[in-house]
Structure 1
Amino acid sequence: MHTQDSSWSELLRGKNAPRSIALSGGIALYATNTYIATTILPSVVAEIGGLALYAWSTTLYVVASIIGSALTSKLLQRTGPRLAYTLATLIFMVGVLICALAPNMPVMLVGRLIQGLGGGMLLALCYSMIQLVFEERLWPRAMALVSGMWGVATLVGPAVGGVFAEMDAWRFAFGAMVPISLAYMVLTHRALPPRDATASTPTRLPVPQLVLLAAAVLAVCAGSVSALPSWNLLGIAVCAVLVYALIRHESTATLRLLPRDALKFDAPLCALYATTCLLVIGMSSEIFMPYFLQHLHGQSPLVAGYMAALMAAGWTVSEILSSGWSGRGAQRAILAGPLFIVAGLVLLAITTPVESLGEWARLAPICLGLFLVGFGIGLGWPHLLTRILQVASEQDKDTAAASITTLQLFAMALGAALAGVISNVAGINDATGNAGIANAALWLFALFTLAPVLAWVMARRATRVKVAAAQMTPS
């Protein structure tokens, strides 16, 4: 194991301190909202209906986040960091208020869409500014700090969502995000400069690629609403066609969504992007965990929310643990991560479908499985993201930074949509009892193990690429 020539204290003192707080705060806001929504969603559908649209809440939120993240580069160039953060936070707050007042699921989904647009901007702003405000040797720790806010969200999100859900006041869980968002706006206004001195001329957006990306995810999600397998398969087939069209267009486009060579199978960027996407897809089964825990294991919204958030807790623990590694240590972290995820998903497939009265002897293996999945993602995550920035050419570094968020969100949305397909086909909507829910849990976790298996294959390629290794900072 090797440690890079940097320390955590460098991020938290002097001029780096307010920057670190501003950047990590945006992720914390987005992630906390994510866990609030995940925790209260069973209570939401119990009051306003829409179980068949359960996965849509996450999918639309993340698809809108993709669009928001893509708009970030243009917004940042035109307005500068201070105003960009203000606009993104305002859009986010509008979505929060719509969700808090929603009388039915369609209106709720509109709110989630607007929420996601602002949240996606915040996500991309935080990741994109790392390379602008920190030295390269601090990137892995900065990535870990920013991404580690998901761990903070595991403490705050389920608590806020769970408490309000148990009080039958889930609307106030969304409302609580308003003063937090206002406080964050004040923070970023004071901590960030009004204009980036190195800002370049605003660029056009790769609109066709963004449309194809969003349409691919929505195709899967639309198919998941039907209980007929033929419609589910049609949605997946349409998604595959749209992704193929996206790859073809991106390969020849002048205005690109991804850095050059990102879609060439033998290029290092392709292996790195594929690994990150597959890891995120493997984690997407998390959206149904609170529902499974409440209906199969008799847990309250608060406890179910905290248990589901163990994935993010594992992510944070392993990311902090490995962020200072370099050389062989970083390579081993990237390779070992998918294996932990496979172990966690297999454990969840075995233990989650078996109904219980909430005995901790039954719940402990579920908690371990959830933690292992998150631990596996976080172990190599900062090194994968750092390598993407290092491998990208100088003219593609801005595109590479923005694409990290775009592809991460695409993988989250696609994973959520696929989770909805599997759960609906397996019988989660069966009103006769819990057998359909148990069957959905079994098939969901069993099939999702394929993602980390493929991620391990791609991770082997990513760690063997000499150009990537050569550009790693020596210990």
Structure 2
Amino acid sequence: MASTTGWSALLLGKNGLRSAALAGGVALHAINIYLVTTLLPSVVQDIGGLDYYAWNTTLFVVASIVGSVLSTRVLAGLGPKLAYGLAGLVFMLGCSVCALAPDMPWLVVGRSVQGLGGGLLFALPYAMIRLVFDEALWARAMALISAMWGAATLIGPAVGGVFAELGAWRAAFWVLLPCTLLFMLLAIGLLPGKSREPAPRTPIPGLQLVLLIVMVLAISIGSISTSALYNALGLVIGLVLLLVVCALENRSAKRLLPRGSLKSGSVLLPLYLSMALLVVGMTSEVFVPLFLQVLHQQTPLIAGYIAALMAAGWTLGALFSSGLGAQGAARAVASGPLLVVAGLLLACLAMPAASGVASLAAICLAMVLVGGGIGLAWPHLLARVLERAPADQKELAGASITTVQLVATALGAALAGMIVNLAGLGSGGELAGTARAAGWLFGLYAGLSLLLFVSVRQVQRQESVVPSL
């Protein structure tokens, strides 16, 4: 292994190929997300299933949670080489099912399989860094892998948009197969055969995972009906299951979050709540390409890139915010909710408005504001989670960040599907129903995001509190 610490030590020679294999797994997972978001309106036009639109994101993310949680067990049991190979095979199977899907239910099945493989591809590279590179290269390897999300905002909409405009959405999934195979072959040829680390001793919180999955499914199933009663029933069941999960987290030795995180007065509770609310607000992005194509007559390519402005804003906000000092960080965290709410309100006004340059410019600004607000606050919220977690819970605290983000994404997508279906998306009068759905979605999410002012204020009040969990 290289003995220097520069980028050349990471990107050249055998280390360069290893870096390509690990970064490629994360890139495939991230690109796939933006590719499918861009493709979905064209898929619905071809095979129908508008009522299940949000399920493509919801079940993909739910399966990703399972894959992410199982990644350490798979790595310990199979070793880096076979673990990566298994992840690639599962992902390729999901791509194949999506490409062959005759209707939306089959596409959702394929997306679920994709999500399981994608969750493994997403989590395994982070866990493998310590096994593959010298410690001096860990920080740069982390930065390289994280940068794949920024690249995905450029590549995903482009690939999805081009295939959508060619009327060949199935080919977009087929293209992912040789790409996945390439990274699999690199991993199999270059990664260690066995893990040097012992199997993790922390038990998997299986019951909490199952209940979280059922929670999201309950909300999603309720959203299919146009009856407010069934929607309310699905939402109530989901909220009850969420409360049960919180109770289990407080009592069980098998936990998703650090000890005592969800108890009243916990210093971690407002942090996790703030993170979840930020992510839920961003899940409105799922429907942006559809709204833009129907209401503003944008091509799939342009619609995909406008939707990706939210992720780009997150990246830019995080880059700007990450180097701030203590006072600047406090201001960034306080400013985040303001920008998120302002962006969602602007989208609420501009998205249903008549098509034109002014409304399109306002939508672009709204996407950047929402993403930028999240990016400003996100690095500092994550850092405080790691700082305030009990000393013996630091590793679990790190893993909990991904768990909270993925659960909030699945929950937000399920709620978004419920809102737009109730508002009349796909009902008679396509333009009127879509405009109404857009207004309700962004309006309600702006209202929900007002809770950020409460949770962030609580975070700031606890600045001087010493964790005593």
TM-score by length of 2: 0.90
Show the counterpart of 1:157. 156
For the residue of structure 1 that corresponds to 2:268, the secondary structure is: helix
Confirm or deny: 8 A CA contact 2:66 2:116 kept in the other structure.
yes
Change (3 A) 1:408 1:11: farther
1:85 to partner: Cα distance: 2.5
Note closer, same or farther for the CA distance 1:191–1:264 as it changes in structure 2 (3 Å cut): farther
Structure 1: segments with no counterpart, 5+ residues:
1-8, 471-475
Name the residue aligned to 1:398: 395
* Deviation for aligned residue 1:401: 2.4
For 1:329, the equivalent position in structure 2 comes to: 328
| Alignment partner, residue 89 of structure 1 | 88
Is 2:407 the partner of 1:381?
Answer: no
User: For residues 276 and 91 of structure 1, do their structure 2 counterparts lie closer, same or farther at Cα, with a shift above 3 Å needed?
Assistant: same
2:412 paired residue among 406, 411, 415: 415
Which of 423, 426, 444 is 2:423 aligned to?
A: 426
- Match of residue 206 from structure 2: 207
Contact kept, 8 Å, 2:10 with 2:19, in 1: the verdict is no
1:176-234, Cα deviation, whole Å (9 max, x unpaired): 11122122224444665444434344543211100111111111111100001111111
Does the Cα contact within 8 Å between 1:292 and 1:352 map onto a contact in 2?
yes
Alignment of 1:368 onto 2:365:
yes
Equivalent position SS for 2:253: coil
Supply the distance in 2 between the matched residues of 1:412 and 1:442 (Cα, whole angstroms). Answer: 20
Q: Classify 1:88/1:325 alpha carbon distance in 2 versus 1 (closer, same or farther; 3 Å).
A: farther
Confirm or deny that 1:289 pairs with 2:284. Answer: no
For each residue in 1:424-466, what CA deviation from the matched residue of structure 2 results, as whole angstroms up to 9, or x when unmatched?
A: 1111121323111101100100110134322232223334434
Distance 1:234 1:313, change over 3 A: same
Q: Which amino acid aligns with 1:364?
A: A
| 2:269 counterpart of 1:274 | no
Deviation at 1:12, TM superposition (A): 3.2
Q: Mean Cα displacement is larger for which, 174-183 or 283-292?
A: 174-183
Alpha-carbon deviations, 1:140-175, whole Å to 9, x = none? x87765444332111111111111111110001111
Distance verdict in 2 for CA 1:73–1:402, change over 3 Å? farther
Gaps of 5+ in 2: none
Q: Distance in 2 between matches of 1:379 and 1:11?
A: 28
Q: CA deviation at 1:406?
A: 1.7
Residues 1:462 and 2:459 aligned together:
yes
Shift of 1:325: 2.9
* 2:45 matches 1:46: yes
Residue pair 2:249, 2:255 contacting (<8 A) in 1 also: yes
Number of aligned pairs? 460
Judge which range, 347-356 or 315-324, deviates more.
315-324
Task: Check 1:201–1:144 CA distance in 2 against 1; reply closer, same or farther (3 A cut).
Answer: closer
8 Å CA contact 1:69–1:402 kept in 2: the answer is no
Q: Distance in 2 between matches of 1:221 and 1:65?
A: 17
Distance 1:286 1:11 in 2: 37
- Is residue 289–residue 308 contact of structure 1 (8 Å, CA) maintained in 2? yes
Mapping of residues 208-227 of structure 1, within 5 Å: 208-227=207-226
1-side partners of 2:151 and 2:465: how far apart? 31
Give 1:100's aligned residue. 99
State the distance in 2 between where 1:198 and 1:468 align. Answer: 36
> Could you tell me how far apart the structure 1 residues matched to 2:136 and 2:373 are?
25
Whole-angstrom distance in 2 between the partners of 1:415 and 1:238 = 16
Quickly say closer, same or farther: Cα 1:189–1:467, change in 2 above 3 A: farther
Identical aligned residues as a percent = 51
Q: 1:14 corresponds to which residue?
A: 9
Say which structure, 1 or 2, has more relative contact order (CA 8 Å, 6+ apart). Answer: 1
CA distance in 2, matches of 1:104, 1:37: 15
Q: For 1:184 and 1:467, how far apart are their aligned partners in 2? A: 47
SS in 2 for 1:197: coil
Tell me the equivalent position of 2:240. Answer: 241
Alignment match, 1:355: 354
1:316–1:378 CA contact under 8 A, matched in 2: yes
Counterpart of 1:3 in structure 2 is none
What do the CA deviations read for 1:324-363 (whole angstroms, capped 9, x no partner)? 334223332222222211111111001000131xx33321
Q: Distance in 2 between matches of 1:154 and 1:217?
A: 26
In structure 2, relative to structure 1, the CA distance for the partners of 1:329 and 1:149 (3 Å cut) is: farther
Q: Which amino acid aligns with 1:409?
A: L
285 and 22 in structure 1: CA distance in 2 versus 1, 3 angstrom threshold: same
Is this contact kept in 1: 2:310–2:368, CA < 8 A? yes
Residue in structure 2 matched with residue 6 of structure 1 by the alignment? none
Partner of residue 447, structure 2: 450
Retained in 2: the 8 A contact 1:144–1:323? Answer: no
| 8 Å CA contact 2:65, 2:119 repeated in 1 | yes
Structure 1: distance between partners of 2:349 and 2:76: 50
- In the TM superposition, structure 1's runs of 4+ consecutive aligned residues that sit over 6 Å from their partners are 130-139, 141-144, 467-470
Residue type of the alignment partner of 1:212: L
Counterparts of 1:23 and 1:383, CA distance in 2:
26
